[in-house]
Every structure is written in C-alpha cells, then in structure tokens.
Amino acid sequence: MKTDEFVKRKVSKYYWKDEINCATTTLKTLSDAFEIDLNNQVIDAAQGMHGAGEYGAQCGLVEGTLMFLGIFAREKLIPDDSIVKSCKDFAGQFEKRFNSLQCSVLRPEGFNPNNTPHLCEPITCQAIEFSINFISNLLEGDK
C-alpha cells in the first residue's frame, strides 16, 4: 500500500472511530508504519498534547513525531546527541514545510465547538507523511 493511502486510512480510523487527538494519532500511525510497539503510558502521555490541551501552543503533529523519534531512535540504538539533533532537524524542516510549529497558526480557527469534527485531518495526513519520509531518510543516513 502506498504511504499516502496507509496514512489516510490510519488517520481516518484514529480520528473517526477511536476519537483520539492529533498527537496520539501521529504516535500510533508512526508506530504502525515502522512496526514499533508503544507502551500504554506513552499513549496516555499524549492525551493533552494537541496544541497543549487546545491552548494553541506547539502542534500535536510535531509533539507526536518528536515523541516517536525518541522511542524509535532508542530502539535503533542511536546515540542521545544524534536523537536531539534529529529532533531539531525535524522541527526546522516541519516549520519550513508547514510555515509554523504552532497549533494556533496551523489551526487558526482554534478549538471551537462550532468547528467541523476533525478539522485538522488533511494537515494531519500531510504532516504524518512528512514525518514518515523524514524518519525513513534518517534510517537511510544511518546505513
């Protein structure tokens, strides 16, 4: 299955069936893509990470990927300083591609009860595809 189809199916399931936020959706989709098991506490920790609990701070799509990068890199025995550098590189590339790391910029409508459900679904798919490509390139650089 192509990456975009895989991501679209996972995001749709996690948003519409499981009703989980963007950070958790990102974590779970990346763990599915790279076949990395996540501890339940990690999933629990992402519960309020969608713009810092809807405050509009750092986007959950960024937070979920950064959390996954740490888990994934440790599993691959990547040194801590390389993990930190990879997180910094990811943030810079994400900001360049999406023009911000802030939920309030990426979702200017905010979190309003009148918004359509899962307003961020299109950008979620784009961001997770971006994250998969970033992590895949990271793996290629490790070889």
**pLDDT higher than 50, residue 136:** yes
Q: Using one digit for the tens of pLDDT, what is the confidence trace for 52-69?
A: 656 567 899 999 999 999
Do 32 and 131 form a contact (C-beta atoms < 8 A)?
no
Q: Using one digit for the tens of pLDDT, what is the confidence trace for 81-96?
A: 999 999 999 999 999 9
Check residue 104 and give its pLDDT: 85
φ, ψ at 132 (rounded to 5°): -60, -45
Q: Give residue limits of the domains in the chain.
A: 3-110+118-137
Residue 42's pLDDT band, with cuts at 50, 70 and 90, is very high
- In single-letter form, the type of residue at position 59 comes to C
Please tell me the distance from the alpha carbon of residue 27 to that of residue 13, in angstroms, as a whole number. Answer: 14
**pLDDT higher than 90, residue 142:** no
**pLDDT higher than 50, residue 143:** no
Sign, Cα dihedral of 43, 33, 91, 22: negative
Q: How many CB atoms lie within 10 A of CB 99?
A: 10
pTM assigned to the model: 0.91
